[in-house]
Amino acid sequence: MKGATDRGATKRDASGEPQGQRVAGHRAWRATLVGLLLPIAVGSAAQTPPPASAPVASVPAVAVKPAQAVPATGVQLASVLVPNPTPVASGFDVRVYEDMAQQLVADQRIPGMAMAIVKNGRIVSMRGYGITDTRAAEPIDSHTVFRLASLSKSFAGTMTGLLVNDGVIRWDSRVNDYLPEFRLQNEYATQRLTVADVLSHRTGLSHNAFDRDLEGNVDYRTLTQKLAYAPAKCLPGDCYGYQNIAFSLIGDVVFAATGAFYPQEVERRIFKPLGMNDASLGLEGIEASPRWAKPHVRGRGGWVSLMPKPSYYRVAPAAGVNASISDMAQWLLAHGGHRPDVLSAPLLATLHAPLVSTPGEMRGSWRRARLNAASYALGWRVYDYSGHQLVFHAGAVQGYRGMMALLPERDVGIAILWNSESSLPTGLLPTILDGAIGMPSQRWLDVAPFDEGLYASRNQQPTDDAGADASTATAAPR
């Protein structure tokens, strides 16, 4: 499927209780839910919506301390999620990974890509590789814009969390209270669906409901009405089913709660405060960018560039964000706890807390080898990566792929974006993670780094693509 998805999005998850449990039991459970979530409504603590009734696979916990006031400049911000992060393993050298990225674009194995690595609140690598378009080649740099596809879901969860902190909505708010015309298969399911259920893919629907219709250019409003006839595999809140259309209901909730359109709120509350100056939403947004990477598919003569398909831009919360790797570096820093003036530590702890088990994610090459548990939080996936917590999301639409990950205990973040449907770059992420943790070397890529002896100096600091010393780069000012 060439829709807005991430790895494992089309796999069926068998967790959750079967549909048809007694209504009385669920009413009692919901009453308990309200009591648990009441502190969150006033934004006073890092409370998290309760998980689905099926047990969530264990993921290593992250220590949290209260957010602190910081200078508006955002310079030298200390981590607020892990007070004393473990140093990365000896030998962790970003130049090795930059060299691997360069080899991936050699001879147009892939047209282009961009990668950012942040560590200890600093940008240690932020570069573009390859070209924007095989038909009209321009070099990709740190400000070249890519389509993020399902990486957009992390922005939807964060936008909602900001409104929860404001007291405008609650995680346990019922979607139907904001969207009175919205319907699911039956009235009880309609009344049961909450904001947190939508953002954690616990709507009760089967995976990717009506995505094929979305790809066939059926309009969003018609598709949300069709959800009333979608078969359910469980009651809302009880099991996992990855969604794009149902997930995007959160945009309608934001509008109903604030009177402002979702794209404008994301721009005002997230992009501008974090200094994500290249970021936008929608097809018009990417096309208006000074430089953007065209999507590519395979043709007989190699890679062929296309114009972006508009279909998944119609579900903006699920797949509507465009951003450069410079923007993504700021996003990683913010979610790593280095911008508490915008995203507080309690909010981040809530967004990253696992809510529902997703064992279908533990498939595929590096996942099968490295993951001990997998869950979904609020717009983010959470993995146990060989005993280390990993906050993650991937995305894919026609001609674009992307991955981003945070390793909180090492205070490391990685984002990789590319403008083709190749799977080649995916092995770069576990390669970097293994290097940060110090795990035994495993060949996740079919490229190898240059001999380290070729580097002029082992003590030389890596630089970003603008020539500035990357060791001095920090979170962007407000």
The whole-angstrom separation of Cα 108 and Cα 130 is 8
Range with the largest mean pLDDT of 24-33, 301-310, 437-446, 449-458: 301-310
Alpha carbons 233 and 20: distance in angstroms, whole number: 10
Whether the pLDDT of residue 40 is over 50: the answer is: no
Written as six digits, the tokens of 55 are 């047990």
Domain 23-59+158-258 classification at class level: alpha beta
Query: Rounded mean pLDDT of 134-160?
Result: 98
Q: 10: exposed, middle or buried (C-beta count within 10 Å: 0-12, 13-18, 19+)? A: middle
- The yes-or-no verdict on residue 78 having pLDDT over 90 is no
Q: Provide the pLDDT confidence category of residue 49 given band limits of 50, 70 and 90.
A: confident
pLDDT of 19 above 60? no
Answer whether residue 146 shows pLDDT above 60. yes
Element (H, E) at 257: helix 249-258
The residue with tokens 């699920």 is 318
Between CA 90 and CA 282 the distance in angstroms is: 42
DSSP for 84-124, written as a single string: SPPPPPTT--HHHHHHHHHHHHGGGSSSEEEEEEEETTEEE
Residue 302, pLDDT > 80, answer yes
Contact between 461 and 324 (Cβ < 8 Å): no
Share of the chain above pLDDT 90, in %: 74
Using CA atoms, how far apart are residues 221 and 234, in angstroms rounded to an integer? Answer: 24
Tokens of 448: 């190898």
pLDDT band with cut points at 50, 70 and 90 for residue 349: very high
pLDDT tens-place string over residues 119-133: 999 999 999 999 999
| DSSP category for residue 409 | G
- Rounded mean pLDDT of 276-301? 96
pLDDT of residue 396: 98
Q: To the nearest 10°, the Cα dihedral for 87, 90, 91, 95?
A: 20
Q: Rounded to the nearest 10 degrees, what angle do helices 153-166 and 249-258 cross at?
A: 30
- Does residue 259 carry a pLDDT above 60? yes
Q: Are 279 and 143 in contact, with CB atoms under 8 Å apart? A: no
Report the amino acid identity of residue 233: K
- Of the chain, the percentage scoring pLDDT greater than 70 comes to 77
Cβ neighbours of 460 (radius 10 Å): 9
* DSSP secondary structure letter of residue 76: T
- Quick: pLDDT tens for 208-224: 999 999 999 999 999 99
**This model's pTM is above 0.85:** no
Q: What confidence category does residue 364 fall into, taking pLDDT thresholds of 50, 70 and 90? A: confident
User: Is the pLDDT at 3 greater than 70, yes or no?
Assistant: no
Please say if the pLDDT value at position 34 is more than 70: no
By DSSP bridging, strand 412-418 and strand 122-130 are: unpaired
| DSSP for residue 280 | E
What DSSP string describes 124-154?
Answer: EEEEEEEBS-SSS--B--TT-EEE-GGGGHH
pLDDT tens by residue, 386-434: 999 999 999 999 999 999 999 999 999 999 999 999 999 999 999 999 9
- Rounded CA-CA distance 444/426 in Å is 8
- pLDDT of residue 477 exceeding 70, the answer is no
Q: Does position 313 have pLDDT exceeding 90, yes or no?
A: yes
pLDDT confidence band for 186 (50 / 70 / 90)? very high
Which string of DSSP letters, residue by residue, matches 167-192?
A: TSS-TT-BHHHH-TT---SSHHHHHH
Helix orientation angle between 94-105 and 428-437, rounded to the nearest 10 degrees:
170
Number of C-alpha atoms within 13 angstroms, CB side, residue 293?
A: 37
* Contact predicate 432/117, CB 8 Å: yes
Contacts of 161 (CB under 8 A, 6+ apart): 343, 347, 350, 351, 378
Contacts 24+ apart (CB under 8 A), 31-39: 33/172, 34/172, 37/170, 37/171, 37/172
The answer to whether domain 94-151+269-472 has CATH 3.90.1010.10 is no
pLDDT recorded at residue 4: 61
- CA dist list (Å): 238 to 7, 72, 125, 383, 472: 22, 42, 41, 20, 46
Q: How many residues does the chain have?
A: 478
DSSP state of 292: B
Tell me which of 80-84, 167-171, 234-238 is least confident: 80-84
Task: Tell me the average pLDDT of the chain.
Answer: 83
Mean pLDDT within 269-277: 98
Picking from 122, 106, 158, 153, the residue whose alpha carbon sits closest to that of residue 342 is 158
Residue 361 has pLDDT above 60, yes or no: yes
Dig out the tokens for 215 from the structure: 């790809």
> For residue 473, which of 343, 290, 338 has the smallest C-alpha distance?
338
Do residues 274 and 323 make contact, with C-beta atoms less than 8 angstroms apart?
no
How many C-alpha atoms does 98 have within 13 Å on its Cβ side? Answer: 17
pLDDT digits (tens, 9 = 90+) for 375-392: 999 999 999 999 999 999
List, by residue range, all CATH 3.40.710.10 domains of the chain: 23-59+158-258, 94-151+269-472
* pLDDT at position 83: 72
**DSSP classification of residue 199:** H
Confidence at residue 55, expressed as pLDDT on a 0 to 100 scale: 46
What does the pLDDT read at residue 462?
37
